[in-house]
Amino acid sequence: MLVSLLFVPILVLSGKRPNVREACTFLAAGLKFLIVLSMVPAILNGTHIVYTIAEVIPGVAIKLRVDAFGMLFALVSSSLWIVTSAYSIGYMRGLKEHSQTRYFCFFALALSATIGVAFSANLLTLYLFYEMLSFATYPLVTHHQDHEARSSGRKYLLYIVGTSIGFVLPAMLISYSLAGTLDFASQGFLAGTGSKPLIGLLCFMFLFGFAKAAIMPFHSWLPAAMVAPTPVSALLHAVAVVKVGVFCVARVLTGVFGTDLLLSLDLNVPIIYIASFTIMAGSLIALSQDNLKRLLAFSTIAQLSYIVLGVGLLSPKGMTGGMLHIAMHAFGKITLFFCAGAIFVATGKKNISEMIGIGRRMPVTMAAFFIGSLSIIGMPPCGGFISKWYLVLGSLQAHQITILFVLLTSSLLNAAYFMPFVYKAFFCKPEDSMFENKVQEAPAFCVVPLVITATISVILLFYPQPFLRLARMMVQSISGV
């Protein structure tokens, strides 16, 4: 976590020489990934790595603890940072964006915060890095500094900081008052402390307080944040920021409340219905979107609630599915966003209606898009299939048949908003095509990353380690199954 934090000053200083700066970013990303990777064997063996930064409140320290779930998330984010950095270079240089130094600095800062969240040992540390992420991403979202950026920035702040200070902070402090500790435990630390309504209230405060998870009705910031440069949208909003949100929700549900407590209070039922609503509504709204990035945004909103749904089912297979989906969705969605950005760099187009026939001009990109969408829909040969499979099994295990329908219907909806686009991109009459017939892709820096992530999406179906194993380990430590 410290790696990218320490690299920020170096990035600032090397601002004048773009190549050095980019090299530093890669160095930081590479180092971070290697460090995370180096911890994987230990975690897979079952040990935890703990590090206390400062004991700020007697009994509650800013503490890092690496466990299976955190490792899963950290692996996803750190590996994708490398890829996104490459993509950013292509994108930013292709469009000759301004203030690139600031961009890369805050990107590094945001990644620091993400890893910090992944490795948090208690609620205070989680909150600290969550807030750090909110403020570090604000300059990224508002990068363009025009009127649109300002209003999107306001919405971003309003939803994300408003809910974290308004809901999470009091909920955290009330939990502390009830339990005297904030450390995550395998069956939570709130068991036996408060009254039933109070625990229920706290549960909802946390659920909605982590608005980065984009659970409706606190979801509007996500489409609004699409005004950011696409690499920002890609990593942060398809992978890091929103994943931090669902990660926090999952962490809190398992580490603060615990599955037993939630089951005993029947809290899983409201949670999964709220998640289902978001899934359905998100998918439906996505159908009506013309702007490609907004469509992807609503798709993300729905997909995030899959994760919440999975954890909310409280059955071992369901939770595994939810946690695994963090990884699967990440690789799939980032491919899609990279494609959207590549299309913009190469053609300047943002809306689907303007992209008929683009498959002929940018075949590699569209092929990658096709693979990414397969992963999101949940079809083989892509990794998304595995996580959807576990979710289905999980809903059966939890005896929630309605959820089964929700999952199936939403998959159909996913297909409904992706497939027509892909079809029209490739298979259209030559006279309908809006582009000339020659192949002209976006710059290599843009195309290579998306090919990489698309390929990984496919590989993950056949070899979902270490993600699947990490998810299984985590669920095992929670429920002993």
**Please, which of residues 71-100 interact with another protein by CB under 8 A?**
95-99
Site map for another protein, 152-181, x if CB under 8 A? -xx--x---xx--xx--xx--xx-xx----
User: What is the nearest approach in angstroms of another protein to the Cβ of residue 374?
Assistant: 32
Kindly state the tokens that stand for 84: 């996104």
Kindly state the tokens that stand for 15: 């601002």
User: What is the nearest approach in angstroms of another protein to the Cβ of residue 337?
Assistant: 18
Closest CA to 211 of 173, 250, 170, 244: 244
Q: Among residues 58 and 192, whose Cβ is nearest to another protein?
A: 58
User: What is the nearest approach in angstroms of another protein to the Cβ of residue 122?
Assistant: 12
Q: Among residues 229 and 312, whose Cβ is nearest to another protein?
A: 229
Residue 253: phi and psi, rounded to 5, are -60, -40
Q: Is 198 in the site for another protein (CB under 8 A)?
A: no
Tell me which residue has tokens 């083989």.
380
Q: Is 436 in the site for another protein (CB under 8 A)?
A: no
User: Length of the chain in residues, anyone?
Assistant: 481
Closest CA to 312 of 192, 201, 400, 189: 400
**Please, which of residues 29-48 interact with another protein by CB under 8 A?**
none
Side-chain-side CA neighbours of residue 248 (13 Å):
36
Which of 38, 45, 147, 438 touches another protein by CB under 8 A?
Answer: 147
Stretch binding another protein (CB under 8 A), from 37-45, 50-58, 372-380, 443-451: 50-58
Side-chain-side CA neighbours of residue 176 (13 Å):
15
CB 230 within 8 A of CB 340: yes
Stretch binding another protein (CB under 8 A), from 84-92, 138-146, 317-325, 434-442: 138-146
CA angle at residue 329 from 424 to 456, to 5 degrees? 85
| Nearby residues of 474 by Cβ (< 8 Å), 6 or more positions away | 67, 68, 69, 72, 254, 319, 323
CB 373 within 8 A of CB 416: no
Q: Is 56 in the site for another protein (CB under 8 A)?
A: yes
Which of 9, 50, 51, 148 touches another protein by CB under 8 A?
Answer: 148
Question: CA–CA distance from 176 to each of 84, 132, 206, 478 (Å)?
Answer: 38, 21, 14, 21
Side-chain-side CA neighbours of residue 258 (13 Å):
17
Count residues contacting another protein (CB under 8 A)? 42
CB 68 within 8 A of CB 471: yes
Q: Is 294 in the site for another protein (CB under 8 A)?
A: no
Q: Is 201 in the site for another protein (CB under 8 A)?
A: no
Q: Where are the alpha helices (DSSP H) in 314-397?
A: 316-347, 358-361, 363-377, 384-397
Q: Is 52 in the site for another protein (CB under 8 A)?
A: no
CA 106 to chain centre: 18
Which of 144, 155, 350, 469 touches another protein by CB under 8 A?
Answer: 144
Q: Is 149 in the site for another protein (CB under 8 A)?
A: yes
User: What is the nearest approach in angstroms of another protein to the Cβ of residue 291?
Assistant: 15
User: How crowded is residue 147: how many other Cβ atoms within 10 Å of its Cβ?
Assistant: 8
Which of 135, 204, 273, 389 touches another protein by CB under 8 A?
Answer: 135
Q: Is 265 in the site for another protein (CB under 8 A)?
A: no
Tell me which residue has tokens 């219907």.
409
User: What is the nearest approach in angstroms of another protein to the Cβ of residue 447?
Assistant: 22
Which of 24, 108, 124, 393 touches another protein by CB under 8 A?
Answer: 124
Side-chain-side CA neighbours of residue 264 (13 Å):
13
Q: Is 15 in the site for another protein (CB under 8 A)?
A: no
Q: Among residues 55 and 266, whose Cβ is nearest to another protein?
A: 55
Q: Is 150 in the site for another protein (CB under 8 A)?
A: yes
Q: By CB under 8 A, name the binding residues for another protein.
A: 53-58, 61-62, 95-99, 124, 127-128, 131-132, 135, 139, 142-150, 153-154, 157, 161-162, 165-166, 169-170, 173-174, 176-177
